Chains A and B, each alone.
Chain A
Amino acid sequence: MKLYCLSGHPTLPCNVLKFKSTTIMLDCGLDMTSTLNFLPLPLVQSPRLSKLPGWVLKDGNTFLDKELKECSGHVFVDSVPEFCLPETELLDLSTVDVILISNYHCMMALPYITEYTGFTGTVYATEPTVQIGRLLMEELVNFIERVPKAQSASLWKNKEVQRLLPAPLKDAVEVSTWRRCYTVPEVNAALSKIQLVGYSQKIELFGAVQVTPLSSGYALGSSNWIIQSHYEKVSYVSGSSLLTTHPQAMDQASLKNSDVLILTGLTQIPTANPDGMVGEFCSNLAMTVRNGGNVLVPCYPSGVIYDLLECLYQYIDSAGLSNVPFYFISPVANSSLEFSQIFAEWLCHNKQTKVYLPEPPFPHAELIQTNKLKHYPSIHGDFSNDFKQPCVVFTGHPSLRFGDVVHFMELWGKSSLNTVIFTEPDFSYLDALAPYQPLAMKCVYCPIDTRLNFIQVSKLLKEVQPLHVVCPEQYTQPPPTQSHRTDLMIDCQPPAMSYRRAEVLTLPFRRRYEKIEIMPELADSLVPLEIKPGISLATVSAVLHTKDNKHVLQPPPKPTQPPASKKRKRVSDDAPECKPLKPLLSGSIPMDQFVQTLEKHGFSDVKVEDTAKGHIVLLQEAETLIQIEEDSTHIICDNDETLRVKLRDLVLKFLQKF
């Protein structure tokens, strides 16, 4: 059993598990942090960005000044943003049989895999994962395609050139493999390969293994996966949460008794407790608005935004913010808000019960009804007519490199009254803000990551007790910036096996058993013989029939009568030829009784010698030797077949036949 690790990002995993005869890709995350190296894509012409000076090498060489721009000491690529794909060289991805998706954030690289690698298998995911994943992909494509960029930079990617660049460009990994965003047809093609599954549904893969999605509590439709055969169980835990937010609670019990537990997608900000961060978010938002400023919240169109809107629903009246408009701008804003209300079966218990009242499970419906929350596909159109300040704007993309957020950063960045509040933990807020410097607006970092923290992991592992834990290497040591925090790492026994990008792990357990079925007719014909009290044996003569990874023992074909005709037997005869079987023997020979028996039959000079493995019985007169060992008996006599048969029969008297 092997694990191929194609992604170095612990929360955007992409691993391939080879288990029995199947090749299973676990998640398909797309590392978008590469886009932070690019200049933002403004929706309207930005004089500031277009006037940025080109970057000049120390020696005055200007050959890169068209591709690279400098802003407040940082260098950015002036080109369409590109993404860092999962490793494609480690194994032939066309051999992947299935892809299991655990949540909508972990499927963003799907079109790159299904459309470019010769993949012919099936993708399994839950319905909300697919629907919201589609929204995220569509939003991403829309953000990038609506701002076409004539220029495409590639000179800087040259290894020799990259060496000369300042950090972080210099240290960016595998820039040659970075790719532009996929297109809508590619998204559609990729999504068409998905087969929808429900929680606890058992899916057979070629009869070899069974995969089952389990609720992971992190997002709508998010799942952990159980991959099991009859005698082995692998659990794949990715992006789980034990907090009571909107999704259905995590199913922990089904993870018990795993041989291997692959653990990914823990919280990216283990020191920030989501409750505290929500409090911070609300306080900062209220403070800004009270002072007449605007609040910008760069976010994804689904996920934490639902919880934030719910908190604000309860908070705005108490904070005196009832008259402040909340805007949610995204090409998929409407769909996201509406989808969230229809996935009742995937929601937490409280929200599910609301549906039966009937009430919308999320209170943002009421915010929309009362006009407190308004949503728009983009800043163009209706939004510009309704726009009132001070206000709160939720919009994407959290990387601040594309999407409507770029416009608001340019618009509000100059005033210290305004605040940008980062709630998505995927991007470093300092890096995200770098191309907007110098910036007067206030920046607040309130990352809300509801995924498991290390205390919860430690409790989970105690509870489910897997034999082995496998996780990204980042989880086996304290975070580099807080090396004294030994509590911020996985602590389990035996220590977790760690992996890094482009590594292949041989998982530490061996398959020892395989299940074989016996046909009823064959079972009927067996005659068990009790060897010891409680233990019976029977010989089985059968044909092992293996098809679709299922093994069946069928009765052997009856010995064929010699054909009447003298026709030559056809080679393609179905049943193999069977010889009549000799019985098997069992038991041990008690030496004293054996000697007595020999003497009774006229062997007078019997001598017994003990050897390391058993006994040697010497019949001196007959010049014969009987070698009796645990698993074999030899009668060595000099060409006297009668004597040999006689002795053999005497030996057989002491053994059982079956």
Chain B
Amino acid sequence: MGWAIALHGGAGDIPLSLTLGSRWPREEALHHCLQIGVEALKAKKPPLDVVELVVRELENIPQFNAGKGSVLTNKGTVEMEASIMDGRTKNCGAVSGLKTVVNAVSLARLVMEKTPHVYLAFHGAEEFAKEQGVETADSSHFITAENVERLKQAKEAHRVQIDYTQPLQNGTKEETSNSNGEVQLGTVGCVAVDSYGNLASATSTGGLVNKRVGRIGDSPIIGAGTYANELCAVSVTGEGEAILRAAVARDVAAMMEFKGVSLEEAASYVIHDCMPKGTAGLVAVSATGEVAMPYNTTGMFRACATEDGYSEVAIWSAS
């Protein structure tokens, strides 16, 4: 028992040849966000506050695909989405199609706490944001040069990219400036449990590079990208469409509940046995303070810490 926290900055085909210039800011960011989460847990903040706080930090970091630094739609705009869930009450909130809201995860929380609904999207969500007086900014705040470049490449390659997808193998690899291991970005998320066993989860993203305007992925879908109940809290990242059809986040909890397996086993089974290779990763914590961070992609930006002093920041496997 004891508190535990885990967070991610996205799973995908993160090349092992990633340059230090690309690794360093992201690892730094993961350390920083982990620290913030740990301090909050030590200060006995409720897990719901902790995950919101950490995801806000991740959203503000331009190197990750959420909030500032979100990848772009096929029209060169940002459309951000997020969800949050309180394991204790199973209350949840979600938003999609945000263009100006600086912290999508906080708006998701407001939907949960200040409306009779669970999920608001597009212009309705933006109106709600105005009513609530949350911080907004125009698109220049969110759009980064890297993402403009990523979109250009995706259009040239005529495809929709999970932010981590490597350039196509058939020659375009050399042509694209990003091919020397430049990191693609990822959905962000955080899960936490306090020493009383209260759990919470939150996920936030800009979605897929070159996605159709209006496309919704797994991150705002309760049960797919985010889930928390009295057993565990889960935040998922990877290929949205695959995660949606497998209801990944819920499945981890379902396996624990119905099969009586541990968090580690449930999470590992769902990622390695149920999901096609290269499509997903997740972070999860259980009511008893366990942590699991499996992924079936090349790598996953992640970090975790537990009350007994253990902590880890990583991208690939230890070996």
Interaction A to B: no
B residues with a Cβ closer than 8 A to A are none
